[in-house]
Structure 1
Amino acid sequence: MEAGRADAVVWRNRALTLFDRVSLPVAVCDVHGRVVLANPAMAAECGTTPGRLRGREVLELFRPQETTQVERIAEALRLRHRSRYQVSVCWRAPGGAERCGELTADPVSDSVAETPALLVMLRARGECPAPGPTAGPVVSTVERRVLALLASGATTARAARELGLSRDGVTYHLRRLSARWGAANRTELVARAYALGVLAPGVWPPGAEAE
């Protein structure tokens, strides 16, 4: 038994050494997308150190170009699917340039029944084109509907029933929107949705502006 533990420690240390030396940006995230471990190459893309990436939202560091990709992946993970997932992303490099590329996420765990972690790899393509002057906030159809229900006073449970989502699914969207807009609570989140033109003013029940 002791020999088995010692072997496991040796192999873990070897894996961590290899992880740090890989030139490809790599991170391990929990199932919610929070960084647990990042290698120096990943930290360099964010202009920081591996330790300071711990606990950060990977999809706030690297912004998805299509929110529907993220929704499909989140639903697949809730169902414990084990496929490889890819998301097109943009991010600001340390020098200030906007870069784009793909994040590839592989669910990993010791058993099928265990909630998986995500092994995330970043492949950079180059600089992103500058957004047009009329570009508005990127909000998916589901996020708009969640915001409208929130503005009408719906609870998480009611929003989940009306949207056909789990409570965790609704909370996931609210947490993502709050992080994206820097909202401290649900009241501020609704206020920002109106200020950004996501929700139509002067309408009851609340509804989303035309996309």
Structure 2
Amino acid sequence: MAAKRLVVAGGSGFLEYVNTPPSEAGRLSHSGTIPSTPTPYVRRANLIVSYDSRSGEPQWDTVTASKERPGWASDVEWAKADILKPSTYKPYLKDATAVVHSMGILLEADYKGVVSGKESIISGLQRAFSSTKRGTQDPLNRGVGEELRPQESDGQLTYEVMNRDTAIALAQESSFEHVPTFVYISAAGGAPILPSRYISTKREAESIISQSLPDLRKSSHYPSRWVE
């Protein structure tokens, strides 16, 4: 049986390094709904994994308890790409069995500015918990090769940019390359300390991708369940 090729956008955060049980990895690969994580069981599931992130292969001591490269990492093709610039990741979509969007932000840049002292607490929190913010230009109506441009005046990477518009653009590019399956790493819910837009932008991404790209098989993954 030919190996399935899985492309994951976002490969240097904690999400990508949780273990998938062998039985689950095998079940998901055969069903066409492929796990979002390269794990020690990747080879058993007969997958070839490509990871696209801005940093390429991660510094292992920042995501694991060891500086040493895990054994399974040699089975992964690590690539540098910018999720805001489709031309940097489009070549990796060719002949993919599935593409996974596992990127997103919990806190927006302005809140981090408050924590680091670069912005006043009052102005920073007012912006962080604003009920409306802009994303990029319409990701479904970009020109060929056109990159995503954050529309906030300071170029802030908002929930609308990272949780919604990058996912829509990646799904569209996957559709252009005739990738059969697109997996979106969503969230079951938010948290009291997070703005409501954290979860609402994820729901918007799911809805827009489902309605606008009917030829693409979509699967949304929540922390403990799969929805197809």
Taking structure 1 as the reference length, the TM-score comes to 0.30
Taking structure 2 as the reference length, the TM-score comes to 0.28
